[in-house]
Amino acid sequence: MLVHPQFDPVAVKIGPLAIHWYGISYLVAFGLFLWLASLKVKQPQFAERGWTRRDVEDLLFFGVLGVVVGGRLGYVLFYVFPDNPLDIFAVWKGGMSFHGGLLGVIVAMMLYAWRRGRQFFEVTDLIAPCVPTGLASGRIGNFINGELWGRAADPSLPWAMIFPQAHEATPVPRHPSQLYQFALEGIALFVILWLYSKKPRATGAVSGVFLIGYGLFRFIVEYFREPDRELGLQALGMSRGQWLCVPMVLAGIAIWWWANRKKALKA
């Protein structure tokens, strides 16, 4: 049985200035997006449509706004509201929601597509394969902070881990679910999307696969992740995160089917 290393959440401290590992994980995520998206726009299906590195930089700006604003609003709406609606302003308490961040990015990409006269799904097909590595970086940040730990695990599990941050009278070995999410939502989803998008696909198909893949992987990992204490398990023994993944997967299937059917009708 392992014990969480209890990393110092502060990576660097210079006088009153403290740089946290979680903040660094966000910078790494944005840097990886910039690099991968710059590679993507060189592929024929995007280069021939006039995509450039400058477009990628603008996408990153819009995406950051969407992630930060949407992630915070989503956390409060999905996990805190209506009990503590004013927590939306209590940013010092932390709290971000992936599903809220996704909605924020969707709105930001709609605005970007409208301003640039591009199809919405053309934009999301470009960014979708570049997102999972950022998710992976964020999960490493969660692990370093010792937050979002997993459910109780069999003590015989070789990687079962004690999280002192749980402040339990009797320490419970738990699944390091942050690392499960790193492996599935981050690395596995990146490989799937990157390989799938190497060939030209129907506009919207890559976006659909992203929604399906993330939704399924997150749904699976939620069986190993400790539910939010205030919410617990809900209908059918599923967590709030799992219920949020259901419409995500259904939407992904619908978008993928629509994209390929539209392409087939044009053929």
| Digit-coded pLDDT (tens) for 18-31 | 888 888 998 999 99
75's tokens:
């956390």
Mean pLDDT to the nearest integer, 109-115:
93
Give me the pLDDT at residue 16, please: 82
Say whether 151 counts as a known binding-site residue. Answer: no
List % helix, strand, coil for the chain (3-state, nearest 5). 65, 5, 30
| Digit-coded pLDDT (tens) for 217-266 | 999 999 999 987 777 788 888 998 899 899 999 999 999 999 999 888 87
For residue 37, report the phi and psi dihedrals to the nearest 5 degrees.
Answer: -65, -30
In 3D space, the residue among 213, 228, 230 whose CA is nearest the CA of residue 102 turns out to be 213
Higher-pLDDT residue of 149 and 90 is 149
Mean pLDDT to the nearest integer, 180-206:
96
CA torsion sign, 224 to 226 to 228 to 233?
A: positive
Q: How far apart are CA 95 and CA 71, in angstroms?
A: 8
**pTM score, two decimals?**
0.87
Three-state DSSP at 232 gives coil
Contact 50, 44 (CB under 8 A): no
Cβ atoms within 10 Å of 247's Cβ, excluding its own = 12
Q: How far apart are CA 77 and CA 262, in angstroms?
A: 35
Q: Residue 143 above 80 pLDDT? A: yes
Q: What is the residue whose two structure tokens read 């992203």?
A: 210
Give me the pLDDT at residue 93, please: 53
How buried is residue 40: exposed, middle or buried, by Cβ count under 10 Å (0-12/13-18/19+)? Answer: buried
Q: How many residues does the chain have?
A: 267
Mean pLDDT over the full length of the chain: 88
Cβ atoms within 10 Å of 73's Cβ, excluding its own = 18
Mean pLDDT to the nearest integer, 164-182:
92
| Digit-coded pLDDT (tens) for 36-87 | 999 999 999 999 999 999 999 999 999 888 887 877 776 666 665 555 555 5
- Give the count of domains, the chain: 1
For residue 58, report the phi and psi dihedrals to the nearest 5 degrees.
Answer: -65, -40
Q: Residue 92 above 50 pLDDT? A: no
CA distances from 68 to 61, 108, 181, 247 (A): 11, 11, 20, 22
CA torsion sign, 59 to 61 to 67 to 72?
A: negative
Q: Residue 96 above 80 pLDDT? A: no
Q: Which domain range does residue 258 map to? A: 2-266
The answer to whether the bond into 158 is cis (omega within 30° of 0) is: no
In 3D space, the residue among 65, 54, 63 whose CA is nearest the CA of residue 130 turns out to be 63
Cβ atoms within 10 Å of 16's Cβ, excluding its own = 5
Give me the pLDDT at residue 86, please: 56
Q: What are the DSSP E strand ranges found in the chain?
A: 2-3, 10-14, 17-20, 161-162, 173-174
In 3D space, the residue among 133, 102, 128, 132 whose CA is nearest the CA of residue 247 turns out to be 102
Give me the pLDDT at residue 22, please: 83
Q: How far apart are CA 214 and CA 47, in angstroms?
A: 27
In 3D space, the residue among 68, 79, 86, 74 whose CA is nearest the CA of residue 29 turns out to be 68
Say if strands 2-3 and 161-162 run parallel, antiparallel, or are unpaired.
parallel
